[in-house]
Amino acid sequence: MNAVIAGFAERVRQAAAQKRPLRLKGGGSKDFYGGPLAGEILDTRAYAGIVSYDPTELVVTARAGTPLRELETLLAGQGQMLAFEPPHFGDGATVGGVVASGLSGPRRATSGSVRDFVLGVKLMDGRGEVLNFGGQVMKNVAGYDVSRLIAGSLGTLGLILEVSLKVLPRPAAELTLRLETPQVNALEWMNSWAGQPLPISATSWQDDLLTLRLSGARAAVAAAREHLGGELVADGPNFWQELREQRTGFFKTGSTLWPLWRLSLPSVTPPLPGSQLIEWGGSLRWVKSGEAKLAAETVSAGGHAALFRGSEEARSAGVFQALPPTLMSLHRKLKNAFDPAGIFNPGRLAQGL
Amino acid sequence: MDKPSDIAAAISALRAILPEQGLLVSEEETRPYECDGLTAYRQLPLMVALPETEDQVVAVLKLCQEMHLPVVARGAGTGLSGGATPVAEGLVLSLAKFMRILEIDPVARTARVQPGVRNLAISEAAARHGLYYAPDPSSQIACTIGGNVAENSGGVHCLKYGLTVHNVLRLKVALMDGEVVEIGGTALDAPGYDLLALMIGSEGMLGIVLEATVKLTPRPQLAQVVMASFSDVVAAGNAVASIIAAGIIPAGLEMMDKAATAAVEDFVHAGYDLSAAAILLAESDGTPEEVAEEIAAMRSLLEASGATDIRVSANEAERLRFWAGRKAAFPAVGRITPDYLCMDGTIPRRRVAEMLTRISEFSKTYGLRCANVFHAGDGNLHPLIMFDANVPGETERATAFGASILELSVEMGGTISGEHGVGIEKVNQMCVQFSSAELALFHAVKAAFDPRKLLNPGKAVPTPRRCSEYRLTGTPGTKT
C-alpha cells in the first residue's frame, strides 16, 4: 500500500476506535458550504497527482489532493475540459473537494453535473479499508453505483482517494449574447429554447439582462446567433468565470457575502419575489435573504432551498432542507454501512449523518 | 415458504389483495415467466402477481415481507443477464399493467410515466413536441422504463446523450417493507445522498419503481451516418481514437466484425461491405450546418485512418438502413445458430483490437464461433458466442468462453458489464472484479434498503461463500 494511504488508514482506524470525528479537508475552499465544521483535520493534499490521462479515452484519473487548477490546465492542453465547470471558490480547490461538494457550474443544465461525469472512485471507508467502485470506462453497471453516490456526499461516507472523471472536448466555437428582458420573459424564453435543438451551454439572468452562451460546432453557433439575436458580449469567457466563482456584482454588494440562499427549482417555476440571480435555465436561483416564506414557496414549487453562505450560527441550524423520515432513515443506514463509527465530517450534510 | 400450508396461506392472502386473474399459480400460467432474455437460465416461480395499482404493489410487498417470500420484479422480460429469472421459492412481481404515460410537460421537457411503459412509447408520445427520450437500447420497442432503471440501460447513442442514469430525474419507489419514497426531482439537484444514482442500475435489489420522471431531449434537426470499411480491426480501432482525439463526440459510433456483418447482411440486406474485416458506423446529428461540418471532418479522419470504402447516408431512409443491421445484430446472429450468449464487457477503447485478437484465440480454444458487435465509442463490447445447447458440452464451453472474455475485460482495466447488468449470468465474475471488502459494502448497501434480502435474491452481488468457492475452484458452490 502507498505510504500516504497507509498513514490515512492508520488515522482513520484510530479515530474510529476512539470515536473521534475527522474533518476531511483539501484546500478548504468550500469550508463555507454545508453544516458546521467539526473534528480533527485530515488534509487530503498529501495524496496528490494525476494517475492517468489518455485524451482519446475521454477519461482522467486523479488523486483527491490534486489541485483543480492543475487538472484543468492539463485538460486544456489537450483541448479538453471538465464539462460540469466546477466552481473553485478559492485558489486551493482540489479534485476531491469538487466531487465531495458536488457543485457544478454554468454548463450544468445542458451538460450535466459532477455526478454525471464521475466514472469511478477509490475510497477509504470508516474502517480504513480501501475500496474501488466504478472504473475508468464510460459504461459500467457491475455492482451498485457507489461512485456517483459519493458525489455531493460532503465527505460523510468516506475519504475520497482517487476519482476517474469523464472529460469532453472543448467546443470548437463559443460566444456570449445578451438580451434585455424582464424575469418572466427570460424564464419563458430559456425554457422554450431548451426544448429546441439550440447549442445553448449556459444562461444567466439578473436585473433585466439575460446572458446566454452558445457552444458547439462553428456553423451551429453562427446559425443560433442569427436566430436568437441580442448583443455580442466581448468578454464572454471572463463573464462566465466570474459568475461561476461568485465574484460578480450580485454576490459582492453590501458589506458582507451572506446570507446567500440557493434555490433549486423546476426550471418552469414562475418568478419568485425578491432580488435574484438566475442560472441553469431557471433551475437555479440565488437570493440574498433568509426569508422563511421564500423557502416555503420553493418547497411548494417542488424545489428546495439551501443556505449557501451564512453565519456559523445560522449554519448550525441546518443548511439543507430536512429529509422526510423514511428517506432520512435510509440515509442513516447508508452512513452506517460506510462509516459505522460516524467519524467522517459529522453534521456537514445533515444532523445525524 | 416450503410448507404447503404456508404456500396456500400466501396464495389466499395474495388473492385478497390482487384483482381477479391477478395471481398466476398453475404451471401452465407461470411457464411464460420462467426466463427473461437470457433463455439459458429457466426457473418456474412459485407464483406470478400482476397488480394494477400502486396500493396493490405496496400490499403485495408488505405481505411478502411478512411471509418471507422473495420477490423478483419483472417488466417486459427483455433483460439479457437473467435479472428477472424467477426464484423457485418466490414470487414474480410483474409491472406489466403499469402502462400509463401520466404526464408529458413539453415546456419543462419531462415525462412522468409508470414503470411498465415501453422505452419507445415515451419518444412516440413526446414526438409531437419535437422531443424524445434519448437512451435507446436495441430492445426499445419492447423494454420498459422500469427495467431500464433497474439495468441502467444504454444504447447506441449514449456516448453523446448518456445512459439511463443521466436521463432520469425522479423516481417513486416502493421499498420491500411497503414504504414509498420519492427520490430526485424535477429541480436539478435534491438534498441528501444521490439515491437516484444508487437506485438506477440496482437490478431490482433495492426497491420497486412505481413511477419515473424522465428528461426529454429536443430532437436534432438532422442526423446522418458515415459507414466505413476497414481491412483490419486495428485500423478501425485507431480510426475511432482519431475521431475522439479530433474533438468530435459522434451521436453514435459502432463497429461490427466480419462475422457479424455477414449475419446481419443476410438478415436485413442493408448493403454492407462483406469483404471488410470491420465496419464502422459514425453518426452526426444537429443542425444541417453542424452535421455537414462534422461529417466532412469524420470522413477525412476515416480516410486518413485507412478506410477502404466510405459511404455517407444520402437520406433518412438510407440512414435507417445503415443502422438496421446494427440494431438487429442479436436476432440476426440468432438466425444462424441454435443458441448464443451475448457478452457485455467494457474495456478502455485503446485495447479493443487486442481484445478482438484474444477473442478469436478463445474461439479456437473453445471450438465455438463468435461474432462481435460493439459500441466502439465507449469500449462496450457485445461478443455473441454461438453454440448448440443440444450438443453435449457446448453450453459449458460457451459459458467458459464468456467467463474468459469477462475476466479479460477486468484484467484490461474494464468491467464485466457495461449495460446489460450482472443478474444471474455474471454473478461469479463479480468475485473477480471486486474484493471481499467491496462486496461486503454492496451487501451493507442492500441491507439498508432490504434487510431481509427478499428482493431479487441471488442476483448481481455474490455471497462471500460463493466467491471463495469460485476463487478456489473456478466453479461456484451449488448452494449460496
Determine the pLDDT at residue A279: 98
pLDDT at B480 (0 to 100): 32
Cell of B135: 437512451
Name which of A141, A170, A214, A280 to mutate to probe chain B: the one with the most chain B Cβ atoms within 10 A of its Cβ.
Answer: A141
At B293, is the secondary structure helix, strand, or coil? helix
> Are A326 and B175 inside 8 Å of each other by CB?
yes
The residue of chain B with its CA nearest to that of A217 is B290
State the DSSP H helix or E strand holding residue B256, giving kind and residue range, or none if neither: strand B252-257
C-alpha cell at B361: 484465440
Determine whether the interchain pair B191/A320 forms a contact, defined as Cβ–Cβ distance below 8 Å: yes
* Cell numbers placing B451: 434487510
Strand partners, A162: A63, A122
**What are the boundaries of each domain within chain A?**
2-169+328-338, 173-253+258-309
Nearest beta carbon to residue B349 from set A57, A145, A331 = A57
Contact B244 A58 (CB under 8 A): yes
Q: How many CB atoms lie within 10 A of CB A248?
A: 16
Q: Mark yes or no for CB contact A139/B154 under 8 Å.
A: yes
Q: What kind and span of H or E run contains B444?
A: helix B436-449
| B-chain residues near A75 (CB < 8 A) | none
pLDDT at residue B144, rounded to an integer? 98
pLDDT for A256 equals 59
Residue A59 has pLDDT above 60, yes or no: yes
Residues B402, B391: Cα–Cα separation, whole Å: 18
CB contact under 8 A, B379 and A137: yes
Contacts of B198 in chain A (CB under 8 A): 144-146, 148-149
Chain A nearest CA to B406, separation (Å): 11
pTM: 0.96
| Cell numbers at A277, concatenated | 440571480
Chain B residues with CB under 8 Å of A172 CB are 247
Give the per-residue pLDDT at B478: 38
Whole-number pLDDT of residue A62: 98
Helix (H) or strand (E) holding B385: strand B380-387
Mean pLDDT, residues A23-28 taken together: 98
For residue A192, the chain B residues in CB contact (below 8 A) are: 107
Cβ of A140 and B415 within 8 Å? Answer: yes
* Segment B379-415, tens digit of pLDDT: 999 999 999 999 999 999 999 999 999 999 999 999 9
Residues A272-310: tens digit of each pLDDT = 988 899 999 999 999 987 666 788 888 889 999 999 998
B468: cell is 471463495
Cβ atoms of residues B342 and B387 within 8 Å: no
Q: Does residue A334 have a pLDDT over 70? A: yes
- Per-residue pLDDT at A1: 76
Contacts of B181 in chain A (CB under 8 A): 324, 326-327, 330
Say how many CB pairs under 8 Å bridge A and B.
262
Minimum CA–CA partner of A108 in chain B: B188
Residues of A in contact with B286 (CB under 8 A): 197, 199, 216-217, 220
The confidence score (pLDDT) of residue B253 equals 94
Whether B289 sits inside 8 A of A143 (CB atoms) is no
Could you tell me if B243 and B299 are in contact, meaning their C-beta atoms sit under 8 angstroms apart?
no
Residue numbers in B near A108 (CB within 8 A): 188
Can you tell me the mean pLDDT for A70-87?
Answer: 98
**Which positions in chain B touch A169 (Cβ < 8 Å)?**
244, 247-249
CATH dotted code for A2-169+328-338? 3.30.465.10
Answer whether B304's CB lies under 8 Å from B317's CB.
Answer: no
- CB contact under 8 Å between B460 and A143, yes or no, is yes
Per residue in A215-270, pLDDT (tens digit) is 999 999 999 999 999 999 999 999 999 999 999 989 876 655 568 999 999 999 99
Task: Report CB contact under 8 Å: B187, A54.
Answer: no
Contact B181 A115 (CB under 8 A): no
* Chain centroid to CA B376: 16
The rounded percent of chain A whose pLDDT value lies above 90 is: 87
Contacts of B133 in chain A (CB under 8 A): none
Q: B108 and A191 in contact by Cβ < 8 A?
A: yes
CA distance B227 to A292: 59
User: In terms of CA atoms, which chain B residue is nearest residue A321?
Assistant: B191
C-alpha–C-alpha distance, residues B362 and B428, integer Å = 19
Q: Which residue of A has its CA nearest to B152?
A: A141
DSSP string computed for A321-345? PPPPHHHHHHHHHHHHHH-TT--BS
Query: Would you state the pLDDT for residue B123?
Result: 98
**Nearest residue on chain A to B169, alpha-carbon basis:** A266
The answer to whether the Cβ–Cβ distance between A141 and B418 falls below 8 Å is yes
pLDDT tens digits, chain B, 480 residues: what are they?
A: 667 889 999 999 999 999 999 999 999 999 999 999 998 899 999 999 999 999 999 999 999 999 999 999 999 999 999 999 999 999 999 999 999 999 999 999 999 999 999 999 999 999 999 999 999 998 999 999 999 999 999 988 899 999 999 999 999 999 999 999 999 999 999 999 999 999 999 999 999 999 999 999 999 999 999 999 999 988 998 999 999 999 999 999 999 999 999 999 999 898 999 999 999 999 999 989 889 999 999 999 999 999 999 999 999 999 999 998 888 899 999 999 999 999 999 999 889 889 999 999 999 999 999 999 999 999 999 999 999 999 999 999 999 999 999 999 999 999 999 999 999 999 999 999 999 999 999 999 999 999 999 999 999 999 999 998 988 877 654 333
Percentage of the residues of chain A whose pLDDT score is greater than 70? 97
Closest CA to B415 of B429, B402, B404, B425: B429
pLDDT at A253: 61
| Mean pLDDT value across chain A | 95
- For residue A192, the chain B residue with the least C-alpha distance is B107
